[in-house]
Amino acid sequence: MPDAFLGLTKLTGLAKVPDIRNLLIMGVSAGIIRWTEILAIGIYTYEQTGSPFMVAIMAFLNAVPGTLFGVLVGAMGERYNKRNLLLLGYGILLLLVSVLAYLAINDNLMLWHVALGTFLSGVVGTTEFPLRRTLLGEISGLERAPTSLTCDVAIGTITMFVGPLLGGFLMHDYGLHAFYFVAMGLIGSALFFVWKVHITPERAPTKIVPFLISMRDGFIHARHNKPVLGVLLITIILNFFGFSFMSMLPVIGADKMGLGPIPVGILSSMLAVGSLIGLLFIAGYASPAYFMRWFVGGALALLVAITIFSVTPWYVMGLVVLLIGGLGGAGFGSMQATITFMATAPEIRSRIMGLLVVCIGFGPLGVLHTGAMAQWLGADIAIGVIALEGLAVTLLSMWLLPVLRRSGIEAHEHIHS
């Protein structure tokens, strides 16, 4: 436990820096919006259609913008002020959610409105890695970046706990219109705290090149930067074969365990509880010597937990298994952005962080894969089969890419990759 307390002390100490604190608080609002939306819209869609595949389609629409626009947003972050881009994006999102709230409260909301809204919300959410997290790392500096990014992941993990609980409560007692009204307040909070950010790190002097060439250079860099390539590959695998299982939790909770919205929300949040506990320990050991081990080991542990959860018949046992899976998720989540940031040159970080969003964007394809298999095999069997596929592909990747078998990385390893 001393290491957990050390991690907590380091995280809270860093959060005392005003601009870092403002970006972290903005992340709280953004995270709660995201995780509340996923559960609330999943429950609403299943109530309206009774189709697991339609639930998967909604999750797909929310996540696919990362695949489509991640690298583009990263390239924009190198040309324009990241703070102003965040203000623009969340300002547009506030207008969108206000319209949806108006439609919902007047009983004019239709499923295609919800689908379009969750897609556009996903477009704004695409700014998290290439804009907000890169800005957070730049303000923190290379020495403090691992701690600040781990802190951000820890906060995001808390929102994974709060969001499903809030979504379950809102859908149980009120309905989808309540989510939209809460989202309006959270978006207003995000706008306020990003507006309070005053430090704008100087961008490394680079030659301005066309967007397409800029994005192409990002792909070329990632291909030759072995630690980053390893992170991108495992990110694709875990988002396709792993995290897509969360889209089926409302279905498994309702059909297999006979749960209402609030117990489903608690079930969804247990992954976050375990992840938060793990992150506090990781923050106490924030050494590059173990970064890759935490990253790959965490991914494997989460896939194993999902496999066990798929055959778990009891609610309490499911809570425990997802809690343990969250411990693995802590290693993966904390090191994903940290390794990418530290192993990449400053002048190309936004593009590579944008490319990371593209890899996270493989999640929507995984959600469709999961939804189709759930329609065929049932949601519980489907997530177990897919997690086993993920374990096999991860082990194959470790065999093909030696950097994934190493213990850690060195900062600026890209220089001699």
Report pLDDT digits (tens) over 11-57.
Answer: 666 767 788 888 888 888 888 988 888 888 888 888 888 887 788 78
* Domain carrying residue 73: 2-200+207-416
pTM of the predicted model as reported, rounded to 2 decimal places: 0.69
Task: Kindly state the tokens that stand for 261.
Answer: 């919205």
221 within 8 A of 414, measured Cβ to Cβ: yes
Q: Is the pLDDT of residue 109 over 80?
A: yes
At residue 299, what is the residue type? A
Question: What is the Cβ-side half-sphere exposure of residue 42, based on CA atoms within 13 angstroms?
Answer: 33
Confidence band of 408 (pLDDT split at 50, 70, 90): low
**H helix intervals, 345-378:** 349-360, 362-377
Q: Is 312 left (phi over 0), alpha (psi -120 to 50) or beta?
A: beta
Q: Is the pLDDT of residue 415 over 50?
A: no
Q: Is the pLDDT of residue 214 over 70?
A: no
How much is the average pLDDT of 241-249? 77
Confidence band of 92 (pLDDT split at 50, 70, 90): very high
Summarised one tens digit per residue, pLDDT across range 156-208 is 777 877 887 788 888 877 888 889 999 999 999 999 998 988 766 555 445 55
Average pLDDT, the chain: 79
Confidence band of 210 (pLDDT split at 50, 70, 90): low
Confidence band of 416 (pLDDT split at 50, 70, 90): very low
- Our count of domains for the chain comes to 1
Place of tokens 């989808």: 176
Question: What is the Cβ-side half-sphere exposure of residue 133, based on CA atoms within 13 angstroms?
Answer: 37
In whole angstroms, give the CA distance from residue 133 to residue 128.
Answer: 6
Q: Compute the C-alpha angle 132/136/138, nearest 5°.
A: 115
How much is the average pLDDT of 214-243? 78
pLDDT at residue 181 in the model: 93
Place of tokens 């972050």: 77
Q: Give the CATH number, domain containing residue 84.
A: 1.20.1250.20
